[in-house]
């Protein structure tokens, strides 16, 4: 009934979709298994992609040849570039999306990808032989053979939904939990844990009074995620709104604390620190009189609204009563209440950098099963797992991204070496080389790599090379072309920056904090006409590289300094327990994680500088 697949992907969320698409595009025969074909790529929480650091991840996925950026562009209803007032390392693209169109676009993309087959049924177990996965078993007892398996189970593994004192099994509202896989993995020797996440109520937008809220518009000149020409920026955008809780809202919420599963101990799993529930916020930050609430449309043609900032698992009657005391919500009608969900995860220190498990060959984990939270984090892991599963079946070298290559590299390195005891979320602060890992240069960093493994196509590569060459030419010209005092001093005074006394090259003007290339274009008509020949992306790239040249050079020097440790390979069979000079904690952590390089070993929590010195001596021998 089934052929012998190269890659079987279990779960069709953001991680599963990216894994299936990547592996298939690289030539593998793929089976994507899901409990419900109608919920492929479901946006389970807020209808948005990107944000701080997350937007950089989406652009990196796109640069490598993944689909999240294209799908986001095709379904977006609003675009905003966050943190524009800060430096370019902090600029983060974010889209508000049409929930139904997002899922539809992903399904269409997968159905149009050769080599992808689908199977709708719960997967209840793995077929394992001699510590190697050889397929999966379904709930009706079918056995499907595969050379590799990627588990992307999301919140479905023994999922338990909480609303006040009520609790029931489920991986998402209206959908059942997945059972069997956790128990088998534990029997095979894996360590498992529990985490929780939550979601807010959904309301009828027709019942809200928007005059009592602040309007949040999209960018005046919206951009997009994908570097490809397959998508275009929006020409019209939907608005969002902002309102606030108040003391009365907080007091009403507190009346339900005695029935809260979070406060009475029924929820055992740890929730996301940086996306707490509303009851957690008013409990932890009791001194604050209000909290921000974002009212986000679920799509172009629906009245359903997502109440971002009001995630809760309180009883539904308390949710409803408190919500109606928020300005603009006095007559709100609820579509469904918010809830918390607990689910199984597997500490990611049990994985290799390829996201293959250490215990079972050809078995890969990606997404929330690894303890992460967020669509973007999941999608990036799915992409890397799908790539490596495909490469391994083709007997090719693995694909690894270093911390200096991409935010995706930072994410995976953090998970494997540090693990996580709470849902892991990406931030710019987690990346030590964030000036190099900007959203604007993701294509320059990664498209060549994506092309080399057969994921990014020739058109993408050519577009990236054109951008790279045009940027280099423009920077060179700006370092050669000079402007004279009589031509620009009056304009410099208008821009409130110092005048010049002799001719100056344009790049030196661009280095001034007050000036950018667009200002230079207005200072001199001839230069303006010359610069107008270049694409906006090239002009922006040239400006960033010139303005931050010294900082970029210093960061690059740091990368090169650390690369020696990254290139120092450690044999996979190295016996750390035999090195008695190592500290007890160092021996234990190194034996458990089995780092592949000295650089990776240096980032493991509990491995001291002294341990590294001792390890270096032993490796030298």
Q: What is the mean pLDDT of residues 118-134?
A: 97
Residue 285, annotated as binding a ligand: yes
Residue 28, annotated as binding a ligand: no
> Cα 294 from chain centroid?
21
Mapped onto helix, strand or coil, the DSSP state of residue 501 is coil
Of 385, 418, 279, the C-alpha closest to 66 is 385
DSSP-H helix ranges across 345-374? none
pLDDT of 261 > 70? The answer is yes
Residue 398, annotated as binding a ligand: no
Q: What is the 3-state secondary structure (H, E, C) of 223-269?
A: CCCCCCCCCCCCCCCCCEEEEECCHHHHHHHHCCHHHCCCCCCCCCC
Cα separations (Å) of 210 from 105, 205, 325, 330?
30, 9, 14, 11
202-339 and 459-552, same CATH topology: no
For the segment 231-256, what is each residue's pLDDT rounded down to a tens digit? 999 999 999 999 999 999 999 999 99
Angstrom distance (rounded) from CA 421 to CA 298: 32
pLDDT of 274 > 70? The answer is no
Give the DSSP letter of residue 290.
Answer: -
Residue 17, annotated as binding a ligand: no
Residue 385, annotated as binding a ligand: no
Residue 298, annotated as binding a ligand: no
Mapped onto helix, strand or coil, the DSSP state of residue 127 is strand
pLDDT the model gives residue 621: 57
Residue 261, annotated as binding a ligand: no
Domain 568-619 -> CATH class = mainly alpha
Residue 167 binned pLDDT confidence (cut-offs 50, 70, 90)? confident
Number of Cβ within 10 Å of residue 582's Cβ equals 23
Residue 601, annotated as binding a ligand: no
* Residue 409, token pair as written in the block: 């590299």
pLDDT the model gives residue 618: 84
Angstrom distance (rounded) from CA 266 to CA 259: 10
Of 489, 563, 591, 483, the C-alpha closest to 531 is 483
- Which is more confident, 518 or 621? 518
Residue 269, annotated as binding a ligand: no
* DSSP secondary structure of 403-438: TTT-HHHHHHHHHHHH--SS-B---GGG-TTTTTS-
Angstrom distance (rounded) from CA 568 to CA 121: 45
Which residues, other chains included, contact 300 with Cβ-Cβ below 8 Å and sequence gap of 6+? 77, 98, 101, 238
For residues 200 and 307, the answer to whether their CB atoms sit within 8 Å is yes
Which residues, other chains included, contact 5 with Cβ-Cβ below 8 Å and sequence gap of 6+? 28, 29, 30, 31, 117, 144, 145, 146, 147
* Residue 169, token pair as written in the block: 């099994």
123-129/116-120 β-pairing: unpaired
Work out the mean pLDDT of the chain and round it to a whole number: 94
For the segment 186-197, what is each residue's pLDDT rounded down to a tens digit? 999 999 999 999
520 φ, ψ (degrees, to nearest 5):
-60, -40
Residue 141, annotated as binding a ligand: no
Residue 275, annotated as binding a ligand: yes
* DSSP secondary structure of 81-109: EETTTS-TTT-EEEEEE-HHHHHHHHHHH
* Residue 18, token pair as written in the block: 């990216």
pLDDT of 162 > 70? The answer is yes
Residue 294, annotated as binding a ligand: no
Q: Which CATH number fits domain 202-339: 1.10.150.120, 2.40.30.260, 3.40.920.10, 2.30.30.100?
A: 2.40.30.260
Of 103, 617, 215, 181, the C-alpha closest to 363 is 181
Residue 278, annotated as binding a ligand: yes
pLDDT of 273 > 80? The answer is no
> Cα 262 from chain centroid?
27
Number of Cβ within 10 Å of residue 448's Cβ equals 16
| Domain boundaries, given as residue ranges, for the chain | 202-339, 459-552, 568-619
pLDDT of 146 > 70? The answer is yes
pLDDT the model gives residue 396: 97
The DSSP bridge partners found for residue 351 are 357
HSE on the CB side for 26, CA within 13 Å? 32
Q: Which CATH number fits domain 459-552: 3.30.540.10, 1.20.910.10, 1.10.10.1800, 3.40.50.720?
A: 1.10.10.1800
pLDDT the model gives residue 567: 82
pLDDT the model gives residue 351: 97
Residue 33, annotated as binding a ligand: no
For residues 369 and 348, the answer to whether their CB atoms sit within 8 Å is no
pLDDT of 177 > 60? The answer is yes
Residue 407 binned pLDDT confidence (cut-offs 50, 70, 90)? very high
For the segment 476-504, what is each residue's pLDDT rounded down to a tens digit? 999 999 999 888 898 898 888 999 999 99
Mapped onto helix, strand or coil, the DSSP state of residue 397 is coil
pLDDT of 129 > 90? The answer is yes
End-to-end CA distance of the chain: 54
pLDDT the model gives residue 296: 98
Angstrom distance (rounded) from CA 364 to CA 341: 24
* Residue 301, token pair as written in the block: 């043609």
Q: Select the highest-mean-pLDDT range: 351-360, 419-428, 553-562.
A: 351-360
For residues 333 and 179, the answer to whether their CB atoms sit within 8 Å is no
Cα separations (Å) of 430 from 427, 442, 462?
6, 17, 32
Of 558, 189, 501, the C-alpha closest to 492 is 501
* Residue 425, token pair as written in the block: 């979320």
Mapped onto helix, strand or coil, the DSSP state of residue 574 is coil
DSSP-H helix ranges across 261-370? 278-284, 316-323
Angstrom distance (rounded) from CA 561 to CA 497: 38
Residue 250, annotated as binding a ligand: no
Residue 281, annotated as binding a ligand: yes
Mapped onto helix, strand or coil, the DSSP state of residue 48 is strand
Looking up tokens 């918390």, which residue turns up?
340
Residue 22, annotated as binding a ligand: no
**Host H or E run for residue 591:** helix 584-593
Residue 272, annotated as binding a ligand: yes
Residue 274, annotated as binding a ligand: yes
pLDDT the model gives residue 592: 87
**What b/e readout covers 121-150, taking b as 16+ CB neighbours within 10 angstroms?**
ebbbbbbbeeeebbbbbbeeeeebebbbbb
Angstrom distance (rounded) from CA 151 to CA 359: 14
pLDDT the model gives residue 353: 95
Q: What is the mean pLDDT of residues 564-592?
A: 88
198 φ, ψ (degrees, to nearest 5):
-145, 170
The DSSP bridge partners found for residue 118 are 32
Angstrom distance (rounded) from CA 613 to CA 251: 57
**Host H or E run for residue 186:** helix 181-187
Residue 566 binned pLDDT confidence (cut-offs 50, 70, 90)? confident
Angstrom distance (rounded) from CA 585 to CA 594: 14
């Amino acid at each position: 009934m089934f052929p012998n697949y190269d890659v079987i992907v279990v779960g069709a969320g953001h991680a599963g979709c990216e894994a299936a698409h990547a592996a298939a595009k690289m030539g593998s025969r793929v089976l994507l298994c899901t409990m419900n074909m109608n919920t492929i790529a479901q946006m389970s929480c807020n209808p948005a992609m990107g944000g701080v650091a997350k937007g950089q991840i989406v652009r990196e996925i796109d640069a490598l040849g993944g689909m999240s950026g294209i799908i986001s562009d095709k379904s977006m209803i609003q675009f905003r570039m966050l943190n524009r007032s800060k430096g370019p390392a902090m600029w983060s693209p974010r889209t508000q999306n049409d929930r139904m169109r997002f899922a539809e676009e992903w399904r269409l993309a997968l159905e149009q990808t050769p080599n992808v087959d689908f199977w709708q049924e719960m997967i209840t177990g793995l077929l394992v032989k001699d510590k190697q996965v050889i397929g999966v078993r379904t709930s009706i007892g079918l056995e499907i053979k595969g050379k590799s398996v990627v588990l992307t189970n999301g919140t479905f593994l023994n999922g338990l939904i909480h609303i006040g004192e009520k609790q029931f099994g489920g991986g998402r509202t209206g959908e059942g939990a997945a059972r069997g896989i956790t128990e088998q993995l534990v029997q095979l020797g894996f360590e498992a844990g529990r985490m929780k996440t939550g979601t807010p109520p959904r309301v009828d937008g027709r019942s809200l009074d928007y005059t009592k809220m602040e309007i949040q518009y999209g960018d005046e000149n919206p951009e997009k995620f994908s570097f490809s020409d397959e998508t275009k920026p929006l020409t019209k955008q939907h608005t969002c709104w902002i309102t606030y809780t108040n003391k009365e809202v907080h007091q009403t919420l507190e009346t339900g604390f005695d029935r809260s599963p979070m406060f009475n101990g029924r929820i055992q799993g740890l929730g996301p620190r940086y996306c707490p529930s509303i009851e957690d916020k008013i409990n932890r930050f009791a001194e604050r009189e209000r909290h921000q609430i974002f009212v986000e449309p679920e799509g172009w043609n629906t009245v359903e609204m997502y109440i971002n900032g009001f995630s809760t698992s309180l009883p539904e009657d308390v949710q409803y009563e408190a919500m109606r005391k928020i300005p603009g919500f006095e007559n709100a009608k609820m579509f469904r209440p918010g809830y918390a969900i607990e689910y199984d995860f597997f500490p990611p220190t049990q994985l290799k950098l390829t996201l293959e498990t250490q215990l079972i060959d050809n078995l890969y984990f990606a997404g929330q099963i690894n303890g992460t939270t967020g669509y973007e984090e999941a999608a990036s892991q799915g992409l890397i797992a799908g790539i490596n599963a495909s490469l391994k079946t083709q007997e090719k070298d693995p694909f690894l991204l270093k911390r200096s290559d991409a935010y995706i590299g930072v994410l995976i390195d953090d998970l494997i070496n540090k693990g996580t005891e709470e849902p892991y979320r990406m931030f710019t602060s987690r990346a030590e080389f964030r000036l190099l890992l900007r959203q604007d240069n993701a294509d320059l960093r990664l498209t060549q790599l994506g092309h080399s493994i057969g994921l990014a196509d020739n058109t993408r590569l050519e577009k990236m090379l054109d951008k790279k060459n045009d940027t280099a030419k423009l920077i060179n010209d700006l370092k050669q072309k000079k402007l004279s005092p009589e031509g620009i001093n009056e304009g410099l005074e208008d821009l409130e920056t110092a005048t010049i006394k002799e001719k100056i090259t344009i790049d030196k003007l661009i280095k001034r904090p007050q000036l950018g290339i667009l200002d230079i274009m207005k200072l001199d008509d001839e230069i303006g006409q010359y610069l107008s020949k270049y694409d906006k992306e090239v002009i922006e790239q040239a400006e960033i590289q010139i303005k931050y040249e010294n900082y970029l050079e210093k960061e690059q020097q740091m990368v090169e300094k650390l690369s020696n440790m990254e290139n120092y390979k450690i044999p996979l069979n190295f016996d750390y327990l035999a090195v008695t000079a190592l500290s007890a904690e160092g021996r234990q952590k190194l034996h458990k994680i089995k780092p592949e390089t000295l650089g990776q070993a240096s980032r493991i929590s509990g491995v001291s500088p002294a341990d590294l010195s001792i390890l270096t001596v032993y490796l030298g021998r």
